[in-house]
A = this chain, B = another copy of it.
């Protein structure tokens, strides 16, 4: 016996030393490491010892499998399933209509849970004390199981349970900007997960793990393909591949959506036009959609980018966005499919202010869309900048369900090497008040449908996922995938709560780790804003690839692709005057919002350069001149990255070597790049301000010419 013990112990050691990839981040927040607190472990073991699963279907089996995997890990013991309740330790999962649970008195809770929500309660079943995880739907049961596992993962007290949870948004969707050649537009975590060439025959085991991760945070839809779309994905050969993915995702409650290239009737249909009012075009789409539903009976619908950045669209035929969207919506309606029509448009000619374009084109169309059309609006009016004011379309189209589009992938946020927790950015937008129906008309209420009583509602996140082993490139970028799902489910959660959950599940329940890490996560987005685009600067990064600073760039083929267009620095000051004296973009907001922004005195300083051309010598609330404040903000960004680095480097005892070193290396890159941003921007803006950089700020180690000469030919 003793000898065996030694052998087993040695084997255990060997598992640790050989599998260098054991902590490579692949498991995300579903690590299910055995509970370290022994007392708690014993409590959990006693409370969870006799598990009964009611039902036998793909979704219920997925829930059961996850429960087994999770509990075996968390409790460190083999889990088998029972069929009848024991005296203690019962956990019963199943829909509310399953034989053992239909007698429970939970009618009101079930109404509250709705179609996708779940209930976790302590009650009695067959006179035995039980933890019951139940729901109206099997999908709800699945979500309930993930939620229950999360309680244990985050070391919550489960002595009394009285949980009813139901998603505030109907559609919680990842947008993959993945191309069929497996490159990912604005992807910084490797290449596309979808191995198109091997589908439908070969099902990469990763597809299932991807679905598990999504389901664990309530994501219920996936757009597989890039908004800059290829019509090829709509051909039968590819639909067969799409169907194979849909089959993997279905047991996890995830619907598949595709991007529809508007000119597909020409490219793969042999028609001579894609005019949405042409009968042949309508018929072609109807047939195509029917064909899709033969392959994928629960197909979700289309996401469309039309007449934007060179994509084809209805305006090519002098039709409106509504004409285009409605034509597709009519084809989808009989199958209960939807259209998500993107509002990210700007005209072929450079407009006076790109800020205004989406509003100008879409606001007049309010009320003209079919019931199964959603208009998908980016969080801000320009393009996923580190900080943007909320998009003026929110609140401006009461008759149309608007979908939020956040960008998880860090196109403008340091690619994959900068640690930026995005929940504060998401929350800032969600909490912004549109005043559409008076005070309290938050963006969150626009998109969850409550402000205007829309039954369709949703949030889209442009995925930050690739085939990197750890999915997201940066170990901390996983937090943004997690936070997106959690907020789409419940936007009342705070960034603090979500960070807490994620850290515990991903790293450790040790407070000595949680506290400092949570602190720098919560600050990280402001830190990034400071070293990249403080005080309302925007879109001053490298042309095309968007990597690194290039505020001097002025050679793009159109004016509003140039950083100089956005910052407008001159010898007087800096910033884009969007007040009535300028482009008057502010007029697109409700008067209450306008009045805050249009007055340089009341405009929040973090938005200043979005709306005002501010003189270099203008005094800010700190007492500093604008120029000095700009210098200090850039400097603060650098300083805070260094603090973050120092904090992390002191946490080596609490995290595995592999992820520790990965984060450490990336923080070092981030620090170097923060310095680069600060130096390049200050040197450049100084050519306009002609003012000295305060002495207490570190001097640049290169000249402006050096920074200007940097090239990144193969930036991803």
Known: A190-B191, A716-B197. A12 touches B12 (CB 8 A): yes
Q: Which of A277-291 contact B (CB under 8 A)?
A: none
Is A14 positioned at the interface, with any CB of B under 8 Å from its CB? Answer: yes
Docked complex Cα distance between A182 and B715 (Å): 11
Inside 8 A of A21's CB, which chain B residues have their CB?
Answer: 21, 26, 205
Q: Give A667-678 as 1s and 0s: 1 = Cβ < 8 Å from B's Cβ atoms.
A: 011001000000
Q: Give A587-614 as 1s and 0s: 1 = Cβ < 8 Å from B's Cβ atoms.
A: 0000000000000000000000000000
Nearest chain B residue, comparing its CB with the CB of A7: B76
Nearest chain B residue, comparing its CB with the CB of A547: B197
Inside 8 A of A19's CB, which chain B residues have their CB?
Answer: 19, 22
Is A13 positioned at the interface, with any CB of B under 8 Å from its CB? Answer: yes
Q: Which of B10, B197, B209, B658 interacts with A78 by CB under 8 Å?
A: B10
Tell me if B11 and A202 are in contact (CB < 8 A). no
Tell me if A668 and B1 are in contact (CB < 8 A). no
Inside 8 A of A270's CB, which chain B residues have their CB?
Answer: none
Q: Which of B7, B77, B713 interacts with A10 by CB under 8 Å?
A: B77
Inside 8 A of A69's CB, which chain B residues have their CB?
Answer: 17-18
Q: Which of A1-49 contact B (CB under 8 A)?
A: 1-2, 4-5, 7-15, 17-22, 24, 26, 32, 34
Inside 8 A of A209's CB, which chain B residues have their CB?
Answer: 20
Chain A interface SS verdict (over half): helix
Tell me if A73 and B14 are in contact (CB < 8 A). yes
Q: Which of B4, B5, B11, B77 interacts with A34 by CB under 8 Å?
A: B11
Q: Which of A434-470 contact B (CB under 8 A)?
A: 467, 469
Docked complex Cα distance between A190 and B19 (Å): 22
Tell me if A18 and B5 are in contact (CB < 8 A). no
Inside 8 A of A2's CB, which chain B residues have their CB?
Answer: 1
Known: A8-B12, A666-B202. A190 touches B467 (CB 8 A): yes
Inside 8 A of A26's CB, which chain B residues have their CB?
Answer: 21
Nearest chain B residue, comparing its CB with the CB of A31: B18
Inside 8 A of A20's CB, which chain B residues have their CB?
Answer: 205, 209
Tell me if B5 and A4 are in contact (CB < 8 A). yes
Q: Which of B4, B7, B9, B191 interacts with A191 by CB under 8 Å?
A: B191
**Residue from A5, A209, A232 with most neighbouring chain B CB atoms (10 Å):** A5
Is A318 positioned at the interface, with any CB of B under 8 Å from its CB? Answer: no
User: How many positions in chain A have a CB within 8 Å of any CB in the partner chain?
Assistant: 60
Docked complex Cα distance between A417 and B32 (Å): 34
Docked complex Cα distance between A196 and B19 (Å): 26
Inside 8 A of A11's CB, which chain B residues have their CB?
Answer: 12, 34, 76
CB A19 to nearest CB in B, in angstroms, measures 7
Docked complex Cα distance between A386 and B13 (Å): 46
Is A198 positioned at the interface, with any CB of B under 8 Å from its CB? Answer: yes
CB A710 to nearest CB in B, in angstroms, measures 9
Inside 8 A of A662's CB, which chain B residues have their CB?
Answer: 202
CB A345 to nearest CB in B, in angstroms, measures 28
Inside 8 A of A672's CB, which chain B residues have their CB?
Answer: 201
Tell me if A18 and B72 are in contact (CB < 8 A). yes
Tell me if A232 and B181 are in contact (CB < 8 A). no
Is A180 positioned at the interface, with any CB of B under 8 Å from its CB? Answer: yes
Docked complex Cα distance between A710 and B365 (Å): 43
Nearest chain B residue, comparing its CB with the CB of A469: B469
Docked complex Cα distance between A232 and B190 (Å): 21
Is A714 positioned at the interface, with any CB of B under 8 Å from its CB? Answer: yes
Q: Give A544-561 as 1s and 0s: 1 = Cβ < 8 Å from B's Cβ atoms.
A: 000000000000000000
Is A496 positioned at the interface, with any CB of B under 8 Å from its CB? Answer: no
Inside 8 A of A205's CB, which chain B residues have their CB?
Answer: 20-21, 24, 658
Inside 8 A of A73's CB, which chain B residues have their CB?
Answer: 14, 18
Q: Which of A319-370 contact B (CB under 8 A)?
A: none
Tell me if B714 and A417 are in contact (CB < 8 A). no
Is A652 positioned at the interface, with any CB of B under 8 Å from its CB? Answer: no
Nearest chain B residue, comparing its CB with the CB of A710: B237
Is A665 positioned at the interface, with any CB of B under 8 Å from its CB? Answer: yes
Nearest chain B residue, comparing its CB with the CB of A196: B714
CB A21 to nearest CB in B, in angstroms, measures 6
Inside 8 A of A180's CB, which chain B residues have their CB?
Answer: 713-714
Q: Which of A630-679 contact B (CB under 8 A)?
A: 658, 662, 665-666, 668-669, 672
Tell me if B78 and A201 are in contact (CB < 8 A). no
CB A39 to nearest CB in B, in angstroms, measures 16
Nearest chain B residue, comparing its CB with the CB of A203: B665
CB A30 to nearest CB in B, in angstroms, measures 10
CB A368 to nearest CB in B, in angstroms, measures 36
Known: A21-B21, A77-B10, A180-B714. A201 touches B665 (CB 8 A): yes
Q: Give A68-94 as 1s and 0s: 1 = Cβ < 8 Å from B's Cβ atoms.
A: 010011001110000000000000000
Inside 8 A of A202's CB, which chain B residues have their CB?
Answer: 417, 662, 665-666, 669
Docked complex Cα distance between A350 and B190 (Å): 40
Q: Which of B8, B198, B467 interacts with A417 by CB under 8 Å?
A: B198
Docked complex Cα distance between A412 and B282 (Å): 43
Nearest chain B residue, comparing its CB with the CB of A22: B19
Docked complex Cα distance between A662 and B195 (Å): 14
Inside 8 A of A77's CB, which chain B residues have their CB?
Answer: 10
**Residue from A183, A197, A417, A662 with most neighbouring chain B CB atoms (10 Å):** A197
List 9 contacting pairs A-B, 8 Å CB cutoff, sorted by A.
Answer: A7-B76, A13-B72, A14-B73, A21-B205, A198-B416, A198-B417, A201-B668, A201-B672, A202-B662
Shortest beta-carbon contacts, A-B, top 3: A180-B714, A201-B669, A8-B8
